[in-house]
Structure 1
Amino acid sequence: MNIEQLTVLTNLAEGELSVNELTEYTGLAKRKLIKIVKYLEMRGYIEKRAFIGKDVIFSITDLGFSELYKHYIYMRKLIDDMEFTVCSKFDC
């Protein structure tokens, strides 16, 4: 899972969002976001909840939360390691 996919899952973990809202919150181009949403939906990490006009509302699934948590644990360790390495070099 890449950082953009994790960004979408993180945003949806806070609540249901439309494609337009996800585009705004993530800063991703709509075309790219739609590809990411399709990928996440195919894997069962997110699901469609409603339609408002032409916009689709998505929510994260339990499987999506599990995937997000798995990557959170890994990223938290990586950030700790990065902080140690960078701060030993730049005295922060």
Structure 2
Amino acid sequence: MLVNIKELAILTLLSEGELSVREIEEYTGLPRKNLVKTIKKLEKKGYIQKKAYIRDDVIVEITEYGIEMLYKNFIYLRDLVNEMETVLCTKFDC
């Protein structure tokens, strides 16, 4: 199952370590309302989990399943970029 770009960005950030929702918001520039909605979707899918609450913020971390999905998406996107390069370079003589 492919994840969307927002989900992929969040999973990529979390693959480096746990972050608060506020930190993810700063890194991605996503509006908090959309970010919270996306985080809930990722949690429901089992890709991330809440680790702690600090005042009005939540610390989240990626799960093993989330790491697996990130890797599967990486392989897919890597192959897609390679294919795009081949097609475009054939057409535009790169």
TM-score relative to the length of structure 2: 0.91
Instruction: Report how many residues are paired.
Output: 92
1:41-56 correspondence to structure 2 within 5 Å:
41-56=43-58
Determine the C-alpha separation between the residues in 2 that align with 1:86 and 1:20.
Answer: 39
Structure 1 stretches lacking a partner, 5+ long: none
1:16-55 correspondence to structure 2 within 5 Å:
16-55=18-57
The residue identity in structure 2 corresponding to 1:77 is D
Q: What's the counterpart of residue 57 of structure 1?
A: 59
- Per the alignment, in what secondary structure is the counterpart of residue 14 of structure 1? coil
Kindly, what percent of the aligned residue pairs are identical? 53
The yes-or-no answer on 1:73 pairing with 2:75 is yes
Determine the C-alpha separation between the residues in 1 that align with 2:30 and 2:76.
Answer: 24
Question: Which consecutive segments of 4 or more residues in structure 1 shift more than 4 A?
Answer: none
Structure 2 stretches lacking a partner, 5+ long: none
TM-score relative to the length of structure 1: 0.93
